[in-house]
Structure 1
Amino acid sequence: MKTKWYFFFLTMIAVSAILYAWLGIQEEESVEIGILMIGENRYEKFTGLQEGLEDLGYSRQEVQYRVMNAKDDEERLSKQIDQLLIEEPDLIVTLGGIETQSLKKKMDQDHKQIPVVFAGIAAPKELGLIEDYKSPGGLFTGINNYHESISGKRLEMLTSLVPQIERVHVIYDSKIEVSKLSLQETRAAAITIGVTVIPCDASSNESLDTLWKSAGTKDAILVLPSFRIESLTDEIVKLTKEKKIPAMGLYDFEAEKGLLASYGASFHSQGYQASRFVSLILQGNKPADLPVELPDGIRFVINQQTKDSLGVTYNQDLLYIADLIHPEAQGGRKR
């Protein structure tokens, strides 16, 4: 009898162990999120997304990321999108305009039905990505980073910050629709402000050489949206330092690298804000029903070292409201 009870208890223990292991696997079942980024500069958006989801209670075991970094290569981005659509993750997060537009084109062609959150792009309705800001329709929703709409405001702030500016070289990208729309906004604002703008097309290999030769005293530089321009940040910073001319960017990382100022939503904050959309979709909501949001905050940043090195007169009122950063002293980024 004792032997029978002994084998009975062993059997119960073995069955319990199997059930426990099976339930553990079920509990640890995760969702897969595809991440599309055109280049390394946008990695900060991914960091913000991860932190946002963790703050919302998602563990690293619950969410698995399939990160595709195209290294500023559009052809590689296209191949990565093909691969991601074959794998069919539960959801895709795009980290910029070129990623989102390229993905939508491929999804339409292949009739793929995967929800997509864009973590900060400009003019999504104008680009045909959504039907309406309040009711996006379709499979796409996310953050309208407003960069196209505030291009004129950036020009106004730049020329107000440094009143002696007479000409502004506007770096845009003729191959990027949002960049062209931003140039239109900038030109309209220039007429009101009364300043001369000189377009500089970053899609041309000779663009910065031309800018170097033409930039002079009482000139400034304004950067418009484009992944190509983002990849040229170090070269633009070098030009502004050697020529000693002020420049306004979109993102705080541009000011941290050495541009005089930036005005816009940071990469990190856009990614963090996009995590809310991801969470809502994972809970069963449809992108079509989630209104597109504007940025939670827009940051006006001035690089203290660059400000002190240019030798120009500044509008003290604007300096007072700016977020002055000291990248060299900080030894890293400030979000």
Structure 2
Amino acid sequence: MKIKWFIFFLSIMTISFIFYSFIEKKADPPIKIGVLLIGENRYEKLAGLKKGLADIGYKDKELTYIVKNANEQQDKLEVMITSLLNKQPHVIVTLGGIETVQLKEKLEKENLYIPVVFAGVAAPKELGLINDYRSPGGQYTGINNYHTSISGKRLELFKELIPSLKRVHLLYDEEIEVSRLSLQETVEAAGKLSLEVIPWNVADRSYKNKIAENIEENDGLLILPSFRIEALTEEFIQLIKKYYLPSMALYEHEVEKGFLAGHGASFYEQGYQAARYVSSIVQGNAPKDLPVELPDNIRFMINKQVSEQLGVTLNHEMLSNAELVRLKEPDKGVKDK
């Protein structure tokens, strides 16, 4: 009798092993997520995206990330896009405006349909990516990081923070539409504030010399959205330190590196928020039916260490409403959050 029971259980175990081996072999292949970025700074968005999908419940083995980085070279983006499309991803996540616009041009040229989630783009409707914020109507949806729309507000906060501010040097990128739109918003706000602003185009490499020739007492510096401006952070920090310029940025990492203040949605949080869209598309929803969202959180940050170094007097009421950020030592070989 014992031998019969032993044979019975052995048979059950053998059948179970064969069954589960068969199931595992038949398991769905990993979901291929294409990721397109213009440069290193935007890896923070990828870190947020991965964490967001993990928090939703996706396991590492269920996802494959195909990452293409143009390393701050706009002319290399097209090559990266072609390489990415050859991998046939199920969905593509673009980590900024220039990536999304150039991908759109390629998809239209090749007449390809692949769902695209933009993890933070300023003015997606104005760029022609969507028809409407509630009903995008195409193959694109994602996060409007609102950085163009709040450019005027950023200048207003800068003036409130430093009451002695008389003029502001605006750094923008003439070659990037979002940057031009942001400049327009900022100039309009300056008129309402009766504040003088001087625009400088960073695509003109003589901009630093021109600023140096025009700096006066009680001047400040404010940067506007552009991938090229993101890549020039260290250059701006040198300018700020050399001429003791109070400065306003967009992102936390810029304030950590030496800008006085910042106002915007962080790279990491934009990526994290975009994970919801990727999950929804993977589950069968179409981008055209997924409303574009604003950032979950827009931060106002101040670096008090920088204010002390500059010797500038800040509005104490503004300090109580801000998130205090400290100078951060340069990372040593660490790229992802």
**TM-score, normalised via structure 1 length:** 0.93
Partner of 2:3: none
Task: Say what the alpha-carbon RMSD is for the aligned residues.
Answer: 2.3
Looking at structure 2, the residues matched to 302 and 25 of structure 1 have their Cα atoms a distance apart, in angstroms, of 54
Looking at structure 1, the residues matched to 164 and 273 of structure 2 have their Cα atoms a distance apart, in angstroms, of 38
Say if 2:219 is the partner of 1:219: yes
SS at match of 2:127: coil
Is 1:115–1:286's contact at 8 Å kept on the other side of the alignment?
A: yes
Amino acid corresponding to residue 258 of structure 2 in structure 1:
G
More displaced stretch, 238-247 vs 13-22: 13-22
Cα deviation 1:40-75 (Å, max 9, x = unaligned): 001100000000000000010011100111110012
What is the CA distance between 1:252 and its match in structure 2?
1.0
Say if 2:198 is the partner of 1:198: yes
Q: Which runs of 5+ in 1 are unaligned?
A: 1-6
Looking at structure 2, the residues matched to 18 and 113 of structure 1 have their Cα atoms a distance apart, in angstroms, of 39
Say if 2:229 is the partner of 1:229: yes
Partner of 2:258: 258
What is the CA distance between 1:83 and its match in structure 2?
1.3
Task: Give runs of aligned pairs for residues 182-193 of structure 1, distance below 5 A.
Answer: 182-193=182-193
Is 1:28–1:61's contact at 8 Å kept on the other side of the alignment?
A: no
Amino acid corresponding to residue 81 of structure 1 in structure 2:
I
Looking at structure 1, the residues matched to 118 and 329 of structure 2 have their Cα atoms a distance apart, in angstroms, of 34
What is the CA distance between 1:303 and its match in structure 2?
1.1
Partner of 2:88: 88
Partner of 1:164: 164
What is the CA distance between 1:328 and its match in structure 2?
4.1
Cα deviation 1:130-151 (Å, max 9, x = unaligned): 0100000110000000000000
Partner of 1:278: 278
What is the CA distance between 1:170 and its match in structure 2?
0.3
Amino acid corresponding to residue 287 of structure 1 in structure 2:
P
Looking at structure 1, the residues matched to 130 and 201 of structure 2 have their Cα atoms a distance apart, in angstroms, of 28
Partner of 1:120: 120
SS at match of 1:123: coil
What is the CA distance between 1:15 and its match in structure 2?
6.9
Cα deviation 1:252-306 (Å, max 9, x = unaligned): 1110111000000000110000000011001110000000000001000111210
Question: Closer, same or farther in 2 for the Cα pair 1:307/1:154, shift >3 Å?
Answer: same
Partner of 1:66: 66
Partner of 1:76: 76
What is the CA distance between 1:330 and its match in structure 2?
12
Looking at structure 2, the residues matched to 267 and 68 of structure 1 have their Cα atoms a distance apart, in angstroms, of 17
Looking at structure 2, the residues matched to 253 and 329 of structure 1 have their Cα atoms a distance apart, in angstroms, of 11
Amino acid corresponding to residue 169 of structure 2 in structure 1:
H
More displaced stretch, 265-274 vs 205-214: 205-214
Task: Give runs of aligned pairs for residues 17-32 of structure 1, distance below 5 A.
Answer: 17-27=17-27, 29-32=29-32
Is 1:216–1:243's contact at 8 Å kept on the other side of the alignment?
A: no
What is the CA distance between 1:23 and its match in structure 2?
1.5
What is the CA distance between 1:317 and its match in structure 2?
0.7
SS at match of 1:61: helix
Partner of 2:310: 310
Question: Closer, same or farther in 2 for the Cα pair 1:284/1:28, shift >3 Å?
Answer: closer
Amino acid corresponding to residue 283 of structure 2 in structure 1:
Q
Is 1:168–1:222's contact at 8 Å kept on the other side of the alignment?
A: yes
Is 2:257–2:328's contact at 8 Å kept on the other side of the alignment?
A: no
Equivalent pairs counted in the alignment come to 329
Looking at structure 2, the residues matched to 315 and 154 of structure 1 have their Cα atoms a distance apart, in angstroms, of 15
Looking at structure 2, the residues matched to 327 and 54 of structure 1 have their Cα atoms a distance apart, in angstroms, of 30
Cα deviation 1:54-108 (Å, max 9, x = unaligned): 0000010011100111110012111010111122200000000000000001001
Looking at structure 1, the residues matched to 295 and 8 of structure 2 have their Cα atoms a distance apart, in angstroms, of 63
Amino acid corresponding to residue 154 of structure 1 in structure 2:
R
Say if 2:105 is the partner of 1:108: no
Partner of 2:4: none
Looking at structure 1, the residues matched to 237 and 208 of structure 2 have their Cα atoms a distance apart, in angstroms, of 11
Is 2:247–2:261's contact at 8 Å kept on the other side of the alignment?
A: yes
Amino acid corresponding to residue 66 of structure 1 in structure 2:
I
Partner of 1:151: 151
What is the CA distance between 1:19 and its match in structure 2?
4.1
SS at match of 1:72: coil
What is the CA distance between 1:26 and its match in structure 2?
3.2
Cα deviation 1:233-266 (Å, max 9, x = unaligned): 0110111011111110111111011100000000
Looking at structure 2, the residues matched to 327 and 198 of structure 1 have their Cα atoms a distance apart, in angstroms, of 28
Partner of 1:98: 98
Partner of 1:37: 37
Percent of paired sites with the same residue: 51
